[in-house]
Amino acid sequence: MSKKALTRDAILQQAVRSASQIGISRLTIGSLAEQSGLSKSGLFAHFGSKEALQLAVVQAAQAQFVEEVVKPAFTQPRGMARLHALFHGWVMRLYAGSMPGGCPLLAAAYEFDDQPGAIRDALVAGQRWQRDTLQRLLQEAHDAGELAAGSNVPLLAFMLFGLIQSAHHDHQLLDNHHSAQLALQGFAQLCGAPAPYAGQAGS
């Protein structure tokens, strides 16, 4: 990999971390340059504009999600095992140290939902793909007879995504230490999988 690409990747890795804390729209070229050990103009030359930088951050965060959540899930056999691995990995990533300020893509969905442009377009495409992936794995589990008969697959995908958002909200804002457990219990209730920690539900 060329030096340019190496430097660019290092910038983006740090930028995703920063975006998780302050949001993509509040990234500044100056502070990002300082964190990367570059000058403002040196960093700027890698992207050409702030919007291009923000778009690259979105794409880097999406690629990171695929690497850390989707790919590991696809090592599991098709059906409930793969579905459970996807949901479990998705939830647990909210508590991993790699994103100290929460998921930058969920935050960006709120930041850019009213700002047409390339960034919003990329977010929409990415979120649609995430949802479609979740729904496809649900459908495969349903086809394999591992979900309750008559399950409404699109509704289940909608509800599971809500569990993830609720866990994110409770963890990041309310410091609710039971949020991961609640999300996994919710998955168990909706999809009938064995519930980790079942029976330990406190108040």
Partner DNA sequence: CTCAAAAAAGAACGATCGTGCTATTTTGCA
Partner DNA sequence: TGCAAAATAGCACGATCGTTCTTTTTTGAG
Binding site for a copy of itself (CB under 8 A): 20-23, 25-26, 100-102, 106-107, 109-111, 113-115, 120, 123-124, 127-128, 131, 152, 154-155, 158-159, 161-167, 169-170, 172-174, 178-179, 182-183, 185-186, 189, 201-203
Alpha-carbon distance of 70 to 75, in angstroms, equals 9
43, 29 contact by CB (below 8 A):
yes
Pick 66 or 182: Cβ nearer a copy of itself: 182
Tokens of 64: 């990171």
- Whose structure tokens read 């291009």? 52
Give yes or no for residue 188 binding DNA (CB under 7 A): no
Question: 45 is in the binding site of which of a copy of itself, DNA, none (Cβ under 5 to 8 A by kind)?
Answer: DNA
Which of DNA, a copy of itself, none does residue 174 bind (CB under 5 to 8 Å by kind)? Answer: a copy of itself
Taking CB under 7 A as the criterion, the residue among 27, 60, 138, 164 binding DNA is: 27
Cβ–Cβ under 8 Å, residues 138 and 131: no
Query: How far is 36 from 9, CA to CA, in rounded Å?
Result: 11
CA 116 – CA 45 distance, rounded (Å)? 25
- Helix ranges restricted to H, the chain: 3-22, 29-36, 40-44, 50-65, 71-73, 80-93, 104-112, 118-143, 153-172, 179-191
Least distance in angstroms from the C-beta of 163 to DNA: 35
Instruction: Between 6 and 201, name the residue whose CB sits nearer to a copy of itself.
Output: 201
Q: Which among a copy of itself, DNA, none contacts residue 1 (Cβ within 5 to 8 A by kind)?
A: none
Give the residue, chosen from 13, 14, 35, 40, that forms a contact with DNA under the rule CB under 7 A. 40
Q: Which of 193, 46, 172 is nearest to 103 (CA)?
A: 172
Q: Is 147 in the site for DNA (CB under 7 A)?
A: no
Query: Is 159 a residue that touches DNA (CB under 7 A)?
Result: no
Among 9, 42, 132, 189, binds DNA (CB under 7 A): 42
